[in-house]
Structure 1
Amino acid sequence: MNGVTAIANAVLLGGAFGAGVLALLSALPRWRAPSLAVRIAPYIRDVVADEALPRGILPTSGVLPAGGRTLWQRAQSAFERLVGGGDALRQRLAQAGSPMEPSAFRGRQLGWMVASIGLGAVVLIVLVLTDRMTAPVALMPLLAGALAGVAYDMQLSARVASRRARLTEELPTMLEFLSLCLSAGEGFLDSLRRVTTVGSGELTGELRQVVLAVNTGSPLAEALAGMATRLQLPGLTRAVDQVIAALERGAPLAGVLHAQAGDAREDAKRTLIEQAGRKEILMLLPLVFLILPLSVLFAIYPGLFILRLGIS
């Protein structure tokens, strides 16, 4: 056993022992004096909401005595404060159509990072034991954890972009269907119910949430504005603003929705032309860097070969 192998075994055994000691220390009760907020919180519950009170003030029930947060919960909260969450992440999750809370997303991201760090540590120990240890390999666990966290976040971004594209494609058809229902004599809320009944797709699911919110007592304008704020699609936001203005002023909704459907189709056509222009530039890359150099090589190589042989 050489020195590097001994150091690797020592790091592995010491890390396992340290993790066990930290787990035991985290489970021990804390003997510090309660803070001022903890001492006065039970006497101001009539002016402070329950969710704003410090943790541990309200009585809890359970099979075992409820204590503080676990080590994993504290690590998850610290990671969420470090990376960020809140409204921006909540909006991205809503745009992706995920019912997950930001804390749960960050918890899963942290779990993937910890698992990747563990996998990288195992690979590092195997490399050390087989005498293939190099200086860059020592950073493998950290790089694996960072790549796992970035990949998990990029996966959410890809889901957001894909769902936004599907919503943009479904918007003109949905607006035209609503305008046809209104032209047939139905009310706007009845048209929404009909669309959510016979339609399918991402936008239909969002409209189902609007109808559900209206059925549970929310105003129609507020439910539509909440959907537009949650999705942040320019075409949908314009259509919702025009519908809310028409509902407030009593303007005919069929014409408004038909005009918005035309605008949405023009936006889709313009976006398609822009994508075609970008794809045309990308198509030039293999032509310039692959086909053209090969053509030049085939044209020059016979002459060079003849010159090398000295044939006149």
Structure 2
Amino acid sequence: MSQLWGPLIGASIAAGVWLVCSGWSRRRRPSPWVRVVPYVRDVRPDLGVDPPRHFVTGRAAAALDRVIGGRRSVERRLARLGGGTAAQTIEAFRLRQLGWVVAGFAVATAVALLLWSAGRGSVVALLGVCLFGAVAGGLLCDQDLSIRVARREKQMRAELPIVADLLALAVAAGESPVAGLDRVVRTVRGALGEELSGVLSEVRTGTAVTVAFDGLAARTGVANVARFAEGLVVALERGTPLVDVLHAQAADVREAARRDLIETGGRREVAMMLPVVFLLLPVTIVFAFFPGYVGLHLS
């Protein structure tokens, strides 16, 4: 085992020196992308803000995407999370997932080395531990994305009644739907405000209001927000009083939230009984019978 530590320490030192030297050289000499792109972006709007990924990291991200698969599912969740184009965002996510895989593999390798130094486990079992760490890192990164999407959608559901009421007040005061949407976006801070800001940006660049709200209904994963957008589209196309539609949407969302709360309480009724049965009831029995038990022993 002592012969193994020398190469590992040497490889770690070499990797650290290489990272420091490469980072210093990149900071010392800016790439042509940083020097040229800001001056030609007005004639080439397709050039993004961020430079393209390094060849090695880009190939690694593409290989990980081919191995894991599920690109459409990741694209849908990233679109629901918001921000960036699908191609750029999924590449960044794959690179982040690759980092999680490397981190999981490194932690599992450290545990395997400790077990090997203690003389426990065979080589095959320790290799399995390393492989399990890498797989667990990738799965945890994917699960983290799902958790962030669910948290964002929960925030959007909570903000929807307030947004609908504010938009109804703005329209009732005489403003157009676009002007009312602008006022709401400048007032609201949150996930739904960011989505409506994107809709407003599309409208300002020439997209029809109905088309922009149709896009919001298509990419969101929240049924209430989709119904809200579709209701606005129908009201604008058919001339339905928009204020009544918005107030009805807000009332429906609050009613749906109340039903969800009642259903959640019903599903967790058994879980709420666990502390009562296994904690409060035994303590009550002890307090009721312990004085009599002590009195019998004293007599």
TM over 0.5, shorter chain = yes
Matched-pair contact (CA < 8 Å) for 1:85–1:103: no
Query: Which residue of the other structure, out of 224, 227, 232, is the alignment partner of 1:238?
Result: 227
Matched-pair contact (CA < 8 Å) for 1:124–1:141: yes
Determine whether 1:118 maps to 2:103: no
Greater Rg over alpha carbons, structure: 1
List runs of 5+ in structure 2 lacking aligned partners. 12-53
Partner in structure 2 of residue 183 of structure 1: 172
- Which deviates more, 75-84 or 290-299? 290-299
Partner in structure 1 of residue 93 of structure 2: 105
Q: For the structure 1 residues 128 and 172, does the alpha-carbon distance in structure 2 shift closer, same or farther, using more than 3 Å as the test?
A: same
Shift of 1:291: 4.3
Q: What is the alpha-carbon distance in structure 1 between the residues aligned to residue 230 and residue 110 of structure 2?
A: 56
Shift of 1:267: 0.7
For 2:174, what is the secondary structure of its paired residue? coil
Determine whether 1:88 maps to 2:73: yes
- Which deviates more, 159-168 or 74-83? 74-83
Q: What is the alpha-carbon distance in structure 2 between the residues aligned to residue 85 and residue 271 of structure 1?
A: 30
For 1:251, what is the secondary structure of its paired residue? coil
Alignment of 1:15-164 (within 5 A): 70-99=55-84, 101-134=89-122, 136-164=125-153
Structure with the bigger percentage of helix: 2
Partner in structure 2 of residue 57 of structure 1: none
Determine whether 1:259 maps to 2:248: yes
For 1:101, what is the secondary structure of its paired residue? helix
Determine whether 1:222 maps to 2:207: no
Q: What is the alpha-carbon distance in structure 1 between the residues aligned to residue 246 and residue 236 of structure 2?
A: 12
Q: What is the alpha-carbon distance in structure 2 between the residues aligned to residue 188 and residue 131 of structure 1?
A: 72
Q: For the structure 1 residues 300 and 137, does the alpha-carbon distance in structure 2 shift closer, same or farther, using more than 3 Å as the test?
A: farther
Q: What is the alpha-carbon distance in structure 1 between the residues aligned to residue 71 and residue 125 of structure 2?
A: 36
- Which deviates more, 71-80 or 169-178? 71-80
List runs of 5+ in structure 1 lacking aligned partners. 17-68
TM-score after normalising by structure 1: 0.69
How many positions carry a matched residue from both structures? 250
Partner in structure 1 of residue 50 of structure 2: none
Task: Provide the identity percentage.
Answer: 38
